[in-house]
A and B are shown apart, each in its own frame.
Chain A
Amino acid sequence: MTAAGSRLEHDWFPGELPASVRIGAGSWVHSAHAFQHFRSERDPAVVIGEHSGVYVGTYFDLGPDGSVDIGDYTTVVGAIITTDARVSIGDHAFVAHEVVIADGPWAAPPGAAIARRPGGPGPRDVVIGPTAWVGARAVLLGGAHIGEGAIVAAGAVVDSEVPPFATVAGNPARVVRRAAS
């Protein structure tokens, strides 16, 4: 477990990890720059399990209530995570290049001067199940629950439930393959 508030030894960016970030043994996070817009007041706010990789292009733009949980043996190639809710990514999951995981379609970094719609629903969680695969440039919005083993095709836009072991594609995403029964 990486000590809270520490520097990553390989880091090019001269900053420390926020104290509320926990990184498990054998896991890799590209840089403290991933937390440049981080505003979470939760503790822990980001928990990364063991043997997981979080690579260049990934950002944790978390608002005061935002939190992220990443399991073991999970790969996040490059995802912008921007939420004031909870994002949970299971074990052995794979999130590809240029994915955006956001609590709404007009996401902006925490602290951005954007009027929240009065009376609208609050930010909603995103769940990515174990062994799920999220393809390049997919967008997962609040309410997206990707079932275990499911595949989200490249460029798909998802804001609802994807059944376990199904494949979804398109905008809005539709099931193109169901689980083998």
Chain B
Amino acid sequence: MTLDVADITGRWDPATLPANVRVGPGCFLERRESFARFRSTRDPGLVIGRDVSVYMWTAFSVDPDGLVEIGDGSVLVGPSFMCAERISVGRRVVLSHQVVIADSDFHPHDPEERRRDAEASAPGGDVTLRPRVESAPVVIEDDAWVGIGAIVLKGVRIGAGARVGAGAVVARDVPAGASVEGNPARVVP
């Protein structure tokens, strides 16, 4: 297979994305591969507002029932969206390098259920037999900035203008305007 340089330099045509992906005007979508794991069957399954930058390290891994929404003017440097249900990102949000945002654990906690999960999701397995796993939407409000390598877990709401430090692991809500750091993430002055 020959490389089409347009596919990695933002010169490919977003109109070739699935019909349930909505992209606003003025967006920069650097790499087609960012959408390779988008498999939502919802409509819409992905909504990108206007003037959003999606750099090459970003990955939209969206399950069939998932919906990801990105507000106007946000900058997605390198987040991986692991979406089973809903991840909502506000306006002018920055998600830096190697950020992971997951609205589910994607696998059961119980060992017996994990055995079934492993067999159902193995090559040749029947994925319809996978145990049901809880999900809880993630919301990142306007003007929040999420630092390099931070991980945002299911059910978390990051308030408007909050700052999440590099490498933070966020499992609880972050108040608007607060700064959090560390693992587990704690509010810092």
On chain A, the residues within 8 Å of B168 by CB distance are 171
B94 nearest in chain A by CB position:
A106
Task: Chain A residues near B166: list those with CB within 8 A.
Answer: 100, 102, 105, 139, 141, 157, 171
- Do B167 and A80 have beta carbons less than 8 Å apart? no
Residue of A13, A107, A137 with most chain B CB atoms under a 10 A cut-off: A107
Complex CA gap A113/B55 in Å reads 12
B66 in the interface (beta carbon within 8 A): no
Q: Is the CB of A108 within 8 A of B148?
A: no
Q: A113-B51, A113-B73 are in contact. Are A36 and B148 (CB under 8 A)?
A: no
Is A105's CB under 8 angstroms from B96's CB? yes
* Chain A interface, >50% SS class: loop
If A107-B77, A171-B183 touch, whether A14 touches B165 (CB-CB below 8 Å) is: no
Chain B contributes a number of interface residues (CB within 8 A of A) equal to 31
Find B53's partner among A113, A141, A157 (CB 8 Å cutoff).
A113
Q: Is B147 an interface residue (CB 8 A)?
A: yes
Return the chain A residue nearest B31 by Cβ. Answer: A36
A100 and B167 alpha carbons, distance in the complex (Å): 11
- The distance from the CB of B73 to the nearest CB of chain A, in whole angstroms, is 6
Q: How far is the CA of A12 from the CA of B8 in the complex (A)?
A: 12
**Residue numbers in B under 8 Å from A107 (CB-CB):** 77, 96-97, 148
| Cβ contact within 8 Å between A100 and B94 | no
CB < 8 Å A-B pair total: 79
> Is there a chain A Cβ closer than 8 Å to B176's Cβ?
no
Is B98 in contact with A112, judged by CB distance below 8 angstroms? no
User: Is B149 a contact of A106 with CB atoms below 8 Å?
Assistant: no
- Say which residue of A14, A100, A109 sits within 8 Å of B55 (CB atoms): A109
B136 to chain A, nearest CB (A): 25
A1-41 vs B: 1/0 string, CB under 8 Å? 00000000000111000000000000000000100110000
Q: Does B5 contact A (CB under 8 A)?
A: yes
* Contact digits for B70-103, partner A, Cβ 8 Å, 1 yes 0 no: 0001010110000000000000101011100000
Chain A residues with CB under 8 Å of B55's CB are: 37, 108-109, 112
Q: Are B167 and A155 in contact (CB under 8 A)?
A: yes
B8 to chain A: closest residue by CB: A33
7 sample A-B contacts, Cβ–Cβ < 8 Å, listed by A number: A102-B97, A108-B53, A113-B51, A157-B149, A157-B166, A171-B168, A171-B181
Q: 19 more A-B contacts (CB under 8 A) besides A100-B98, A108-B55? A: A13-B5, A14-B5, A37-B55, A80-B78, A82-B97, A98-B98, A100-B148, A100-B166, A102-B148, A105-B165, A106-B94, A107-B77, A107-B97, A112-B55, A112-B77, A139-B148, A139-B149, A155-B149, A171-B182
**Which 3 pairs show the lowest CB-CB distances between chains A and B?**
A105-B147, A105-B166, A157-B167
